Amino acid sequence: MGALPAHSFKFNKKSYKDFFIPSFGPLLISTIVMPSLSHPAAGYAYFEPSNITLSQSHMGKQWVYRGNLRSFNLEGTNASIAKNIPCTLAIPCSAEIHRMPANQSFLVQGVLKEPSPSKYLLKTKKTAGWEPIKNTWSFAEIRYKLKKMTSKFIHKHIANSRSAKFLTGIATGDFDDPIMSFEFSRFGLQHIMAISGFHFAIIASILGLLLQTVLKKKNANILLSLMLCGYFAFLGSSPSVMRALIMILIALWGMITNRQSSALNSLGVALILVLLMNPLMVNNLGFQFSFITTAAILLFYPLIDRSMHPVFNKRHLSHLVEMDDVNQHGYVLINFFRQALALALSVNLTALPLTFYYFQQFSVLSLIYNLFFPFMVSLSMLLLILGLLTSALVPSLATMIHAINNSFTSFMLNFAYNAPKTIDLKWYLDGVNVETLIVYYIVLFFVGVVWRYLVLGEIDERRNMLI
């Protein structure tokens, strides 16, 4: 069933008030209705936009609106077959079609499709049949304009086009370069292209360090919390961003109130809050990877790192002072390698089965690239933040920082773009099912919890003997 032409649609002025029932959004599972569509369905949608991007695909440029489908009524009926589901709305980008500003909700005629289970796409040819719904408001349009301004600023100060695109994506969370996505996927670096806890932690650390140089620690943490909330509003909600923000806010609140916070407990609080706000997030690929890999890092990283100490001998400070410069630098490099290896192992314990389940393949080179590439990205982000902060205060210094970042980011991206195709090596595994994953994760995390309990118990026992 194709989309109906926009000129054939006549709005009934009492239409959406009669059959679009207001609700409190996807805060309760009972308010969600997810249709199973074997064929596309034509009808009228009550659509709330939350984000808008200009996307490039093999079909040309498209305006992509992401948001919440409050209701969807079939053509010629008052029966709503969907309620409060995440949905994407796409329209062609051309001179003949004028984009509607995403500053409020709309009643839209279109064809609802389900390209994959629990993922819905609303197709419409034009915006002529969109009727703005009064007394509604959305931050999506302001967010789009702010991201566009940020993109223009970065492209103005970063000469290399590829570096500018990468830094824009890192800053805004919107990567629209299919070639860059392909090159990063060769080495298992797709997570670099998604704003996640990794990015939030780097930004929080940099801003926190800068704020604490001019403010008291408590005031710096309060201001940092407000700045991170503002950055969250700028980026838009996604599972990984929401998880990272909640966990960092809990940690900052613990510092402000002089209370110790637990990272694992913070992860549990973030999980509950994200699912309360939108239970359908559980079907999101980003949600699954974000929470399960974060749990693996918090649970297994300290255990694996500790188990490597007999191989990579950890030395006391008194021994380090007695070493010469060469041995000291060598020890630092070995220590960094041990920590990077422990991190890679803890992440892949959980990410590898999920990767095989969704993609049936895994890049072997990702084991190497993830040892150094994220660190290089963090340096690029540091230079970008320093350049942005000094642009208004010391323009000449900002110009120098942007020039350094331009060269460094270009050098970093060459590792992904200029690698020969002959070194690509992938593992293929088909047939991983949901039941296997569930059993694997239950056993894995049970072993992790027991292992952690035994290790921490041994440490506490040694401390008590010393006391």
Beta strand 119-123 with 80-92: parallel, antiparallel or unpaired? Answer: parallel
Tell me which of 68-72, 289-293, 330-334 is least confident.
330-334
Token digits of residue 436: 């296997």
Other beta carbons within 10 angstroms of residue 230's beta carbon come to: 10
Mean pLDDT of 330-346: 81
Say if CB 184 and CB 190 are below 8 A apart: yes
pLDDT of residue 96: 61
Q: Residue 455: pLDDT above 80?
A: no
CA end-to-end distance (rounded Å), the chain = 76
| Percentage with pLDDT > 90 across the chain | 15
Higher-confidence position of 126 and 444: 444
pLDDT of residue 80: 83
Q: Residue 133: pLDDT above 80?
A: yes
pLDDT of residue 81: 85
What Å distances lie between residue 147 and 21, 61, 196, 401, CA to CA? 33, 18, 17, 21
User: Tell me: the pLDDT tens digits for 24-36?
Assistant: 344 444 467 878 8
pLDDT of residue 16: 40
pLDDT of residue 426: 83
Beta strands (DSSP E) in 352-455 are: 361-363, 426-428
Q: Which domains does the chain have, with CATH numbers?
A: 6-138 (2.40.50), 145-188+281-466 (no CATH)
Mean pLDDT of 255-267: 86
Beta strand 60-74 with 80-92: parallel, antiparallel or unpaired? Answer: antiparallel
Q: Is 337 exposed, middle or buried (0-12, 13-18, 19+ CB in 10 A)?
A: middle
Q: Going by C-beta distance under 8 Å and a sequence separation of 6 or more, which residues neighbour residue 450? A: none
Q: What is the 3-state secondary structure (H, E, C) of 344-357?
A: HHHHHHHHHHHHHH
User: Tell me: the pLDDT tens digits for 271-302?
Assistant: 999 888 888 888 878 888 888 988 998 888 88
Q: Residue 458: pLDDT above 70?
A: no
Q: Residue 317: pLDDT above 70?
A: no
Mean pLDDT of 211-230: 88
Say if CB 152 and CB 32 are below 8 A apart: no
The mean of the pLDDT values for the chain is: 80
Question: CA neighbours within 13 Å on the CB side: how many for 413?
Answer: 21
Higher-confidence position of 26 and 381: 381
Beta strands (DSSP E) in 36-192 are: 41-57, 60-74, 80-92, 106-116, 119-123, 131-132
Residue 401's pLDDT band (cuts 50, 70, 90) = very high
pTM above 0.75, yes or no: yes
Residue 440's pLDDT band (cuts 50, 70, 90) = very high
Residues in the chain: 467
pLDDT of residue 315: 66
Q: Going by C-beta distance under 8 Å and a sequence separation of 6 or more, which residues neighbour residue 194? A: 173, 238, 240, 286
pLDDT of residue 366: 84
pLDDT of residue 59: 65
Tell me which of 4-13, 127-136, 299-308, 332-341 is least confident.
4-13
Q: Residue 345: pLDDT above 70?
A: yes
Question: CA neighbours within 13 Å on the CB side: how many for 120?
Answer: 28
